[in-house]
């Protein structure tokens, strides 16, 4: 065998031997991480971690060793530093989307979505990068900062995206009356990372109407399998009170924040219940029904002695149909009996044309409009349709303030009863002869 062949053989043997060896020993401050301890030590801990994904045969990895050890020593007691041998932990490295060596990730505020370290490979820069992520986590906990990681794979200033898991999914999503959009993602998925800021922005804009959640499908596999997730990201819509997986609908909209918001609002409006037609019995009822609504529809119905229960219910049925027709407008709907709320009638000029009557009030602008047509489905629909398009005559509320609301007993649903007449006892009355005539 020639000299060159000997050297080639030696090099190959050395390479094979070195490829199976870890770059860090138990005496170093770099903690060896494996698939068996990673979840417990990193993901489920409260500590910030710097983790290097390496391969023993990688020259850049070997060059990094002294600086990485130095960073680990400097951060000891403050931030944990670990290393993963990707030749031995291929599954763990694949789960985190490692495609080259060395890859350094910092597991900070959101352990399911680590930050890729892209700084210089010096001990000083690595330590500073880790400390910066630690500061972000502190700000998030104190509620005074931004820049934390969103739950679905990217950086965002929003914490309105709810982190979902196999254990909390049914309680938060299926068994609630809330409307949900849920993203099933993988931390290594590039499309998921691109979606992250849009998802977070949409979550903030939809707050109070539609909840946005995110579930790491690589960790919480039970729910991912239950809903047939085969690619990332997968987005599904859950109407309120879904109860089971069959209620889930595929999201087929765009991937920008505005696309997500518009799609979700359209679905939300389709599924919102018709508003309740509420009797105006107190100041609290007035505020609860109309204070935060764009418009408040107020109807004054005839007195129960002038219009019995069947008559009154016929008017309430008309209002219920109109409430259903215009439910997407999210108006408030109130009704009162004629004479029960005199200040309301005076302030809004209701009753001048008899009962039933209707006024629509814009509480923010302190303006109102009166129904001039018939109190019928056709007449009310025409009146409300014009208002919804910004047409129709409006007038300022008298006195520029809302009227006093009296507290009264709600209608019991029965016909009215005339008060009983009192019997007059004339036995003690003296009648003279003229009176008797």
DSSP 50: E
How far apart are the C-alpha atoms of 288 and 290, rounded to whole Å? Answer: 6
**Other Cβ atoms closer than 10 A to 188:** 17
Same domain, 293 and 266: no
Active site residue 61: yes
Strands 249-250 and 179-185: unpaired
Active site residue 290: no
Is 145's pLDDT higher than 60?
no
Same domain, 340 and 357: yes
Residue 201 covered by a domain: yes
pLDDT band at 69 (very low <50, low <70, confident <90, very high): very high
CA distance between the termini of the chain? 158
Take residue 303 and report the two structure tokens written for it: 């007195």
Same domain, 207 and 292: no
Same domain, 283 and 387: yes
Which of 210, 239, 271 is a domain's end point? 271
Residue 431 covered by a domain: no
**Other Cβ atoms closer than 10 A to 73:** 14
Lowest mean per-residue pLDDT among 69-78, 91-100, 135-144, 246-255: 135-144
Same domain, 133 and 221: no
Answer yes or no: are the C-beta atoms of 399 and 347 closer than 8 Å.
Answer: yes
- The domain that holds 87 is classified in CATH as 3.40.30.10
| Number of residues that this document lists for the chain | 437
pLDDT digits (tens, 9 = 90+) for 272-320: 778 999 999 999 999 999 988 999 999 999 999 999 999 999 999 999 9
Burial of 195 (0-12, 13-18, 19+ CB in 10 A): buried
Residue 405 covered by a domain: no
In the three-class reduction of DSSP (H, G, I as helix; E, B as strand; rest coil), residue 435 is classed as: helix
Answer yes or no: are the C-beta atoms of 209 and 265 closer than 8 Å.
Answer: yes
Same domain, 300 and 217: no
Residue 147 covered by a domain: no
Q: Which of 9-13, 17-21, 208-212 has the highest mean pLDDT?
A: 208-212
Which of 77, 108, 142 is a domain's end point? 142
Residue 90 covered by a domain: yes
Please report, rounded to a whole number, the percentage of residues in the chain having pLDDT higher than 90. 60
Predicted model pTM: 0.47
> Which residue in the list 86, 93, 189, 307 is annotated as catalytic?
189
Is 410's pLDDT higher than 80?
yes
Answer yes or no: are the C-beta atoms of 240 and 250 closer than 8 Å.
Answer: no
> How wide is the angle at C-alpha 363 spanned by C-alphas 362 and 368, nearest 5°?
40
Supply the pLDDT for residue 406: 95
Same domain, 332 and 229: no
Take residue 145 and report the two structure tokens written for it: 């900062």
Take residue 5 and report the two structure tokens written for it: 């062949």
> Tokens 């799609």 sit at which residue?
263
Q: What domain count does the chain have?
A: 3
Torsion angle (degrees, nearest 10) of CA 195, 200, 205, 210: 90
Contacts for 177 with CB less than 8 Å, ≥ 6 apart: 240, 241
Residue 1 covered by a domain: no
Residue 148 covered by a domain: no
Same domain, 176 and 134: no
**Other Cβ atoms closer than 10 A to 189:** 18
Question: Phi, psi (5° rounding) for residue 386?
Answer: -60, -40
How far apart are the C-alpha atoms of 347 and 25, rounded to whole Å? Answer: 84
How far apart are the C-alpha atoms of 234 and 230, rounded to whole Å? Answer: 8
pLDDT band at 12 (very low <50, low <70, confident <90, very high): very low
> Which residue in the list 61, 86, 93, 296 is annotated as catalytic?
61
Take residue 104 and report the two structure tokens written for it: 């350094």
Domain of 303?
278-400
Positive or negative torsion for Cα 259, 261, 264, 267:
negative
pLDDT band at 26 (very low <50, low <70, confident <90, very high): confident
Is 139's pLDDT higher than 80?
no
Sheet containing 162-164: give its strands across: 162-164, 210-216, 179-185, 234-238, 249-250
Active site residue 189: yes
Same domain, 50 and 93: yes
Same domain, 174 and 240: yes
Same domain, 25 and 63: yes
Residue 305 covered by a domain: yes
Same domain, 382 and 361: yes
Answer yes or no: are the C-beta atoms of 146 and 189 closer than 8 Å.
Answer: no
Active site residue 58: yes
How far apart are the C-alpha atoms of 112 and 214, rounded to whole Å? Answer: 11
> Which residue in the list 86, 192, 290, 307 is annotated as catalytic?
192
């Amino acid at each position: 065998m020639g000299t060159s062949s000997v050297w080639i053989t030696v090099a190959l043997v050395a390479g094979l031997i070195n490829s199976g060896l870890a770059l860090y020993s138990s005496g170093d401050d770099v903690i060896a991480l494996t698939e068996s301890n990673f979840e417990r030590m990193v993901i489920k801990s409260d500590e910030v971690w710097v983790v290097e994904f390496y391969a023993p045969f990688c020259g850049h990895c070997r060059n990094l060793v002294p600086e990485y050890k130095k960073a680990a020593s400097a951060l000891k007691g403050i931030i944990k530093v670990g290393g993963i041998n990707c030749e031995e932990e291929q599954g763990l490295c694949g789960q985190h989307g490692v495609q080259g060596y060395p890859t350094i990730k910092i597991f900070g505020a959101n352990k399911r979505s680590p930050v890729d370290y892209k700084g210089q490979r010096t001990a000083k820069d690595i330590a500073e990068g880790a400390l910066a992520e630690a500061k972000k986590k502190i700000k998030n906990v104190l509620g005074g900062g931004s820049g934390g990681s969103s739950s679905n794979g990217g950086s965002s200033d929003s914490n309105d995206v709810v982190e979902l898991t196999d254990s909390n999914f049914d309680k938060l999503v299926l068994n609630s009356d809330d409307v949900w959009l849920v993203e099933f993602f993988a931390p290594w998925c590039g499309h998921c990372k691109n979606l992250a800021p849009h998802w977070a922005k949409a979550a903030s804009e939809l707050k109070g109407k539609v909840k946005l959640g995110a579930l790491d499908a690589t960790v919480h596999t039970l729910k991912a399998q239950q809903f047939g997730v085969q690619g990332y990201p997968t987005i599904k819509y859950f109407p309120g009170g879904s109860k089971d997986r069959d209620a889930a609908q595929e999201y087929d909209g765009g991937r920008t924040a505005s696309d997500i918001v518009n799609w979700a609002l359209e679905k939300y409006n389709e599924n919102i219940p018709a508003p309740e037609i509420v009797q105006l019995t107190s100041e609290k009822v007035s505020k609860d029904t109309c204070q935060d609504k764009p418009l408040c529809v107020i109807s004054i119905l005839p007195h129960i002695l002038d219009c019995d229960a069947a008559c009154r219910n016929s008017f309430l049925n008309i209002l219920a149909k109109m409430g259903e027709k215009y439910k997407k407008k999210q108006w408030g709907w109130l009704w009162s009996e004629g004479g029960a709320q005199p200040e309301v009638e005076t302030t809004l000029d209701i009753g001048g044309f008899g009962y039933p009557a209707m006024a629509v009030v814009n509480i923010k602008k302190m303006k109102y409009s009166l129904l001039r047509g018939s109190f019928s489905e056709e007449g009310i629909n025409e009146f409300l349709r014009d208002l919804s398009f910004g047409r129709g005559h409006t007038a300022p509320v008298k006195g520029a303030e809302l009227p006093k609301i009296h507290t009264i007993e709600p209608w019991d649903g029965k016909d009215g009863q005339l008060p009983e007449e009192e019997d007059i006892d004339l036995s003690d009355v003296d009648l003279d002869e003229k009176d008797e005539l």
